[in-house]
């Protein structure tokens, strides 16, 4: 995944939450299957998938709004960043791939935000607020996923499956 150096918001999400979220997504799948209640596992997987899909939809809507602003203002250029960053990630589950796709979408959204800011369509405060809000949105989502995994682990321990979970 390539990023721009000025788009630190997705990098912060990646650095703070990505590894924990991926581990949690993997553990949710494993822990819930160990407990043996496939209905519960399916329900939790659906809930997590829905949360990720909802966030992806919000990013897509915001991207469409930014695209419209670019079009309305005749902006066709996109900034090129001097030293884009790149990270390699290991996908261990379909939901981890979905979360990684969220980060890619957020990167594209931040590039659009930068474009509108550099062209004077958005002010400094609007850009700063936009970056902060999207960063916080993805961090919250990551924390919710990690919390779901923690609750699944506690539930497994209560059912006497603590050793199996470890």
Q: Rg (Cα) of the chain, in Å, rounded?
A: 19
How far apart, in whole angstroms, are the C-alpha atoms of residue 164 and residue 157? 9
Q: What is the pLDDT of residues 88-118, one digit of tens each?
A: 888 888 888 999 999 999 989 999 999 999 9
Contact of 55 with 102, CB cutoff 8 Å: yes
pTM, to two decimals? 0.83
Q: What is the pLDDT of residues 26-66, one digit of tens each?
A: 888 777 777 766 777 788 888 999 999 999 999 999 999 99
Helix axes 124-158, 38-72, angle to 10 degrees: 180
How far apart, in whole angstroms, are the C-alpha atoms of residue 17 and residue 140? 9
């Amino acid at each position: 995944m390539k990023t721009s150096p000025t788009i630190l918001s997705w990098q912060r999400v990646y650095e703070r939450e990505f590894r924990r979220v991926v581990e949690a997504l993997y553990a949710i799948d494993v822990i819930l299957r160990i407990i043996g209640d496939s209905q519960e596992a399916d329900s939790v997987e659906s809930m997590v998938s829905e949360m990720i899909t909802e966030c992806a939809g919000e990013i897509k809507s915001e991207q469409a709004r930014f695209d419209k602003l670019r079009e309305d203002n005749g902006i066709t250029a996109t900034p090129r960043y001097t030293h884009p960053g790149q990270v390699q990630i290991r996908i261990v589950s379909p939901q981890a791939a979905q979360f990684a796709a969220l980060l890619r979408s957020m990167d594209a959204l931040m590039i659009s935000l930068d474009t509108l800011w550099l062209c004077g369509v958005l002010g400094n405060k609007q850009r700063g607020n936009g970056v902060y809000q999207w960063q916080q949105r993805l961090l919250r989502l990551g924390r919710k996923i990690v919390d779901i995994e923690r609750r699944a682990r506690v539930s497994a321990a209560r059912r006497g499956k603590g050793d199996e979970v470890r």
